[in-house]
Structure 1
Amino acid sequence: MVRITSSCAASANVSEPTQQRSTKLAPIDELLLFLMHLSVGLPLRDLANRFGIHRTTASRIIATWTHFLYHLLGSVRLWIPKEEVKAHLPPEFSAFPDTQVVLDCTEFFCQTPSSLVLQSEVFSTYKSHTTFKAMIGIAPHSPITFVSALYAGSLSDREIFKLSGITKLLTADTAIMVDKGFLVDNLVPCKVYRPAFLSNRSQMCREDVQQTQSIARLRVHVERCIRRVKENKLFDKVIPLSVCGSIDQLFSVACFLVNYQNGPLVKAWAGK
């Protein structure tokens, strides 16, 4: 563990070993403090009062554990080989047996920057607010297998898909399942399952309607997974710009921890 000792030390990558603890809290209490900040959304002043420490110390503990868990949990490979995905494929995906990952984007509010240029970059027309945006992917049997970095809320799903680097993980004999906003057919080497567009037609044909309904029923699982991530109350409120330096790692840690939660997304898959 690299312990953050001060803001100057953090910026200069200066650290001290964990054995030389700079706080009076035991490591298990520091972890509890971090989880109370992430999961319950308690502010620094509240945490400092509960644990009997200075507010700055609480901030450094959160920064230390964010950095530590990001590298510890992030060292475990998320992406699952296609053979393993196929071996655990739920029967509900029988019509789409080559699906490797189900993708969707999510947004959460951030503080509005004073700069008009920055405001235009992070303003989301979908949310009518300044936001951070990320892409999450799950395997058909529900574990998170891909987490992108955070991007400005003005970026489209297609642009985030392109920047995320997921195309390097896809092969020609696999497929992805996405929403209508992911117009990525020319970006990937594989098949794309996406709800059909009406285009210039007066109505969809029966096959398109049936496929769209099937994809919508299966895509809801990635939305359930994203809901689990957002159950961390830290993301319920507007993220202040002062934590922009660590919010990317905090979001990734929240996603990593979802894979360690008890219980499947769908009860029928409990034995799979």
Structure 2
Amino acid sequence: MDITGERASESLMEDTTTEGSTMVIKMECTDDQPQMRENQEEVEKLKALLAQKEQENDLLREKIQTCQAPYPLTPETINNSSVPNYFRYCTGFTYDEFNKLCRFLRLPDSETVTQTHIPLNCDKLDRHTRHMPLRQEFLLVLIRLRQNFDLEELAFKFQIDIQSVSTLFSLWIDFMYDRLGVSVWPHRDIITKNMPDDYKAEFPTSFAILDCTEIKIEKPSSLLVQCEIYSNYKSTNTLKSLIVCDPRGSIMFASALYTGSTSDQEIFRECKIKDLLKGLLQCGYLKRGDGLMVDKGFLIEKDAKELGLKLNIPPFAKSSLRMPVSDVEITKKIAKHRVHVGRAIAKVKQFKIVSGRIPNSMLVNINEIWFVVCMLSNFQQHIIQT
């Protein structure tokens, strides 16, 4: 065989060998592909299972937060405190009075029920705070009203953020303002039934005691506003409200707040109590000739006469003459019973949120806060027990 033929034969053998190797390699690769696909599928299954477990863990965490949220301060923990009367100190109420107030506001007994059961706007709260039990939210609000703690202090005590404290407080004030805003003026027969004996003996047909009170506020920057809210009587900047209570000291009417320079009679004419009294006369809750008891500062005899009501007011002494003995006796009697409205106002001002100087930042909803604390005072023990 010639050299050319031998070389051709060797070349063919090399090609065949190379092709064979290639075929083997290709066959080996083809055999590994199913195994790789199986491994990939197994990895995908494990990833899906892990995602499912993570989702289940998230649901369990949320359920735990819902059922056992870590809010350290509860009505029960305060009530069980070793400090005497600590619940009354924090809220202004006993534990029993607190529960009665919860029932009046229709708060559920369950600690796990959330805001969906009363008209509070939950969208403004974070997820953690939305699971806070209603009784604990209400406790927070009462502590804020009674002790006037800073938002930071309450955020620490209840383990929530500062913004949530502010939001909760505003939402609850709106809710209570609507819930407590129902008419609380009883029928004259009910007032008579609960009158103190000495009051009934001396003023049996006088069913309301009126007085105005003032709360201090921060000095505003506007000079015009300063003039309007400056009270000559208090020698400072104030807001003023008309309070009406029954003979045993329960508040039946609390007006909106007016500037400190407004006179008592102006507030009487502007606060719509005349419309209320007209309605009470029309529906029989009052009768023509029934009386209102006021101090000398209320120059509303003309208004009372227009309504058909009698005004029990201390007589004025004439400068040139001594006051008759009969007028002195009437003055003493009226003063003795008018003190009840002063005591009712003092109860309201035990809520420290209105007893100190009101900051300008609180003026946005101060009318609602004032009305709420006035009505809440009626859920405390009566001034006079009959």
Q: TM-score, normalised by structure 1?
A: 0.88
Q: CA deviation at 1:174?
A: 1.1
Counterpart CA distance in 2 for 1:245 and 1:180 is 33
Check whether the contact 1:4–1:61 (CA below 8 A) recurs between aligned residues.
no
Q: Which has the larger radius of gyration?
A: 2
Measured at CA, do residues 220 and 110 of structure 1 come closer, stay the same or move farther in structure 2, by a change above 3 Å? same
Alignment of 1:27-176 (within 5 A): 27-75=134-182, 77-93=183-199, 94-170=201-277, 171=281, 172-176=288-292
- Return the alpha-carbon distance in structure 2 between the equivalents of residues 29 and 85 of structure 1: 35
CA distance in 1, matches of 2:138, 2:354: 19
Counterpart residue number, 1:10: none
Gaps of 5+ in 2: 1-117, 282-287
| Contact 1:138/1:146 (<8 A) preserved | yes
Q: What's 2:36 paired with?
A: none
Residue identity (%):
35
List gaps (5 residues or longer) in structure 1: 6-14
- How far is 1:214 from its partner? 0.4
Cα offset, 1:202, TM superposition: 3.1
Deviation at 1:21, TM superposition (A): 7.9
C-alpha contact (below 8 Å) 2:248/2:340 kept by paired residues: no
State the Cα deviation string for residues 38-84 of structure 1 (Å, max 9, x = none).
00111112111222222221111100110111111223x21112222
Assess, with a 3 A threshold, how the Cα gap between structure 1 residues 88 and 124 changes in structure 2: closer, same or farther.
Answer: same
- Bigger relative contact order (CA 8 A; separation at least 6): 1
Structure 2 CA distance for aligned equivalents of residues 160 and 224 of structure 1: 21
Q: Per-residue CA shift, 1:180-235, capped at 9, x if unaligned?
A: 11000011221111112113333211111000000000000111111100000112
* 2:352 equivalent among 233, 236, 261: 233
CA distance in 2, matches of 1:52, 1:22: 10
- Aligned 8 A contact 1:111 1:241 in 2: yes
1:9 corresponds to which residue?
none
Residue 191 (structure 1) aligned with residue 297 (structure 2): no
SS in structure 2 of the partner of residue 70 of structure 1: helix
SS at match of 2:363: helix
Query: Is structure 2 residue 288 aligned with structure 1 residue 181?
Result: no
Select the residue among 315, 321, 331 that pairs with 1:202.
321
Ranges of 4+ aligned residues in structure 1 off by more than 6 Å: none
Determine if contact 1:104/1:136 at 8 Å carries over to the other structure: yes
**Counterpart contact for 2:249–2:343, Cα < 8 Å:** no
Distance 2:189 2:313 in 1: 23
For residues 141-184 of structure 1, the C-alpha deviation after alignment (integer angstroms, 9 at most, x for no partner) is 32211111111111111111111222233342211000111000
Contact 1:82 1:174 in 2 (8 A): no
Q: Could you say what secondary structure the match of 2:379 adopts?
A: coil
Change (3 A) 1:201 1:85: farther
Check the 8 A contact 2:120/2:171 in 1, yes or no: yes
Q: Is the counterpart of residue 3 in structure 1 residue 3 in structure 2?
A: no
- In structure 2, what is the equivalent of residue 252 of structure 1? 371
1: CA distance, partners of 2:193 / 2:134: 39
| Contact map agreement 1:105 1:133 (CA 8 A) in 2 | yes
Are the counterparts in 1 of residues 314 and 330 from structure 2 also a CA contact under 8 Å?
yes
Match of 2:331 in 1: 212
Q: Deviations over 1:4-47 (max 9, x none)?
A: 56xxxxxxxxx68x9x8854532122111111110011111211
The number of aligned residues is 255
One-letter code aligned to 2:245: I
Higher helix share: 2
**CA gap 1:51/1:85 in 2 versus in 1, 3 angstroms:** same
Given that 1:4 and 1:63 are in contact with CA atoms closer than 8 Å, whether structure 2 keeps it comes out as: no
